[in-house]
Amino acid sequence: AQTVTQSQPEMSVQEAETVTLSCTYDTSESDYYLFWYKQPPSRQMILVIRQEAYKQQNATENRFSVNFQKAAKSFSLKISDSQLGDAAMYFCAYRSGYGGSQGNLIFGKGTKLSVKP
């Protein structure tokens, strides 16, 4: 079975600085997708960034980028120029890419990010 591990329960960053959230996963599959979701306090979960395992190039979305190390099964999220609105729970998630799979996400336990003004 696939598992996702986020080893940092809480992180803190100064506004305008850069922070990296860690995620490792375990799978025997070669075709899969990885995601980072953001869950602000009392608000719904939204997608931050996604990565297809078959792509070697790291995904970027504005201030958010990932460091995808397939051999090491590592998928970290870097947030540059942190803003107060980035404060939230961040979840790393895995989805099988195999045809016929239901496509459900497997989540880590999350990292609570605080942003200091």
Partner 1 sequence: DTGVSQDPRHKITKRGQNVTFRCDPISEHNRLYWYRQTLGQGPEFLTYFQNEAQLEKSRLLSDRFSAERPKGSFSTLEIQRTEQGDSAMYLCASSPPPSGRADEQFFGPGTRLTVL
Nearest distance from residue 3's CB to partner 1, in Å?
11
Closer to partner 1 by CB, 78 or 112: give it: 112
Decide if 80 contacts 66 (C-beta within 8 A). Answer: no
Of the listed pieces 17-25, 46-54, 61-69, 73-81, which binds partner 1 according to CB under 8 A? 46-54
d(CA 23, CA 69) in angstroms, rounded, equals 11
Residue 11 contacts partner 1 per CB under 8 A: no
Residue 16 contacts partner 1 per CB under 8 A: no
For the chain, how many helices (H) and strands (E)? 0, 12
Give ∠ CA 28-32-37 in degrees, rounded to 5.
120
Amino acid occupying residue 79: I
Instruction: Determine the distance from the C-alpha atom of residue 111 to the mean position of all C-alpha atoms in its chain, rounded to a whole number.
Output: 10
Closer to partner 1 by CB, 62 or 102: give it: 102
Decide if 13 contacts 114 (C-beta within 8 A). Answer: yes
Residue in 52, 67, 74, 114 binding partner 1, rule: CB under 8 A: 52
Nearest distance from residue 117's CB to partner 1, in Å?
26
Contacts with partner 1 by CB under 8 A lie at 4, 33-35, 37, 43-47, 50-52, 91, 93, 95, 102-110
